[in-house]
Every structure is written in structure tokens, then in C-alpha cells.
Amino acid sequence: MARWVCINGEVVPGEEARISVFDRGFLHGDAVYEVMPAPGGRPLFWADHVERLWASAARLALPMDPDAETLRAEVDAVCAKVGGDVYVRVIVTRGEGLRLDPADAGHANRVIIGQPLTPDPAAAGGYALHTVHLAHASLDAKAKSSNKLPVVLAVAEAKRRGADEVLRVDDHGFVLEGGTSTFFAVFGEAVHTPPLESDILDGITRRKVLQVARASGVAVVEAPIPHADLAAAGEMFVTSSTRGVVPVRRLDHRPLPAPGPVTATVQAAYAALVAAQ
């Protein structure tokens, strides 16, 4: 697999990429990141991802350097090396520093990883979800930080149970999101998803799916969803930047249509939006 990496402006083959063991992203998960597909080497919804990257950094008081234009030039350079459709991960760490004190950090490090974008084989037939009671996936759900150990352990549990993804539920029994995805349930003809006021990330694909669903005449409800109410849902799907809209074929032990008619409508509308970009 052709992987290329840009570290602080220098593009190197993936196997030659190196960053210090004293980097705080490695030591403490003290970093923010964005993941996006780049069909034909063009990052999808770039402005949205940049906006969220800067917002995540602000929430963690993590300095951002350089500016967005320089960052885009570096992403483009990595994409040109990989060629074709590219998976892009942009990471910004606080820099080097062994102690927990942020004042111990040196200059921020930025890393851009590019590799060929390949479809998830499990997504083709729909995902099986496993419910986990995990109220907080990270310290701050609104910041896309690299500190993901709770989700790593939850996904490992899901895999052991034969599932593809987790469905997080909070301490009060309300649905939140997947490990790396946003969750939607269809009740009747309406698409329901937890509101941003809950402990979930403001997903880029979530934004676009809500936009195209409404434009397609699909009713959308952003409101808390008790996990117990999912027994009445006729369809479910999850979304993420690199996977798009993925139907859910099973929640725990309950089979579901994958996709159902409403999910298929949303899938088609989102695909049309991506093609238009």
C-alpha cells in the first residue's frame, strides 16, 4: 500500500516517517485530528473539516500553526504522491514534552497521513452494532482528540461479539453515537438522531446527511432517543466521513433491513451530494 506522510512540511514515504517518542500525542493523546476522504485527490468538505479542526484545538487550548492555506497545500502534496482516491488523516499535537503540564510542550507538530482509500468490506452488507454503556468517549466529546482509549476498548468488545461497530448509550439510557460514527434511527418515515446538546461530536457527514435528507423531503428529528425506544425503529444507519451512509443490518440480536427504503433515499441523496463536490 502506497502511504505518504507529511511531517511539519516535509513529505516522505510512509515507511520513513518518524516523530519523537517525546511527542505529547504519543505520550498523552494530547492532539487533535481530522479524517476525510479525498476522491481523486480532492479533500471532501475541506472547509468543514478545517473549521472543526481549529475548533477542536481551541477547546484544548492547543496552538495551531501554520494557517489553513499551508495545511491544504501539504494535504494536496500528500494526495498527489498517493494518487487516485485518498484516505487523509490530519493530526496536530501539542509538541514534545514528557510531563503532563502543557507548559512543558515545545512547538506543535503536524502530521498528514495519506493512503489509498479502500471501501470497508463490512459496510457493503450493512453493519452489526453492539450496544455499550459508555457515557463519555473522551474528555471532551466536542473536540476530536486523539485520546480514544474508551472507544478502543468498546470496539474490541464489539468485535469479540461479532459486531462491526458499537452503539454508545449514556448513563441515563439515551443513545449517543458509534465509536467512529453518528447514529440515526428511522421511526415511521422520519429520521431521528441525538441532538448536538448530548455528548456527541458535531459530525461533518452528520451535517450533510441532515441537509440532504431535508432537501429530499425526509422528516428529520434531532432529539434524545431512549435506547428502549429502538425496538420500534424500522431502520437504522450510521455515517462517517470515509464510509458515508452505512445501513445497520443488526442491533445486538435484532435483524434490520439493510438498507430500508428511507435509508436508501438518504444514501442516494448523500451520494449525489458527494458526486457534485
Q: Where are the domains of the chain?
A: 4-116, 122-276
Q: What is the pTM of this model?
A: 0.95
Q: What is the pLDDT of residue 140?
A: 81
Domains 4-116 and 122-276 agree in fold? no
| The predicted structure's pLDDT at residue 197 | 94
pLDDT at residue number 97: 94
- Has domain 122-276 been given CATH number 3.20.20.210? no
What SS3 string covers the chain? CCCEEEECCEEEEHHHCCCCCCEHHHHHCCEEEEEEEEHHHCCCCHHHHHHHHHHHHHHCCCCCCCCHHHHHHHHHHHHHHHCCCEEEEEEEECCECCCCCHHHCCCCEEEEEEEECCCCHHHHCCEEEEEEECCCCCCCCCCCECCCHHHHHHHHHHHHCCCCEEEEECCCCEECCCCCCEEEEEECCEEEECCCCCCCCCCHHHHHHHHHHHHCCCCEEECCCEHHHHHHCCEEEEEECCCEEEEEEEECCEECCCCCHHHHHHHHHHHHHHHHC
Domain at 4-116: CATH code: 3.30.470.10
Please give the chain's pLDDT, 277 residues, in tens: 799 999 999 999 999 999 999 999 999 999 999 999 999 999 999 999 999 999 999 999 999 988 999 999 999 999 999 999 999 999 999 999 999 999 888 899 999 999 999 999 889 899 999 999 987 777 788 899 999 999 999 999 999 999 999 999 999 999 999 999 999 999 999 999 999 999 899 999 999 999 999 999 999 999 999 999 999 999 999 999 999 999 999 999 999 999 999 999 999 999 999 999 8
Q: What pLDDT is recorded for position 141?
A: 82
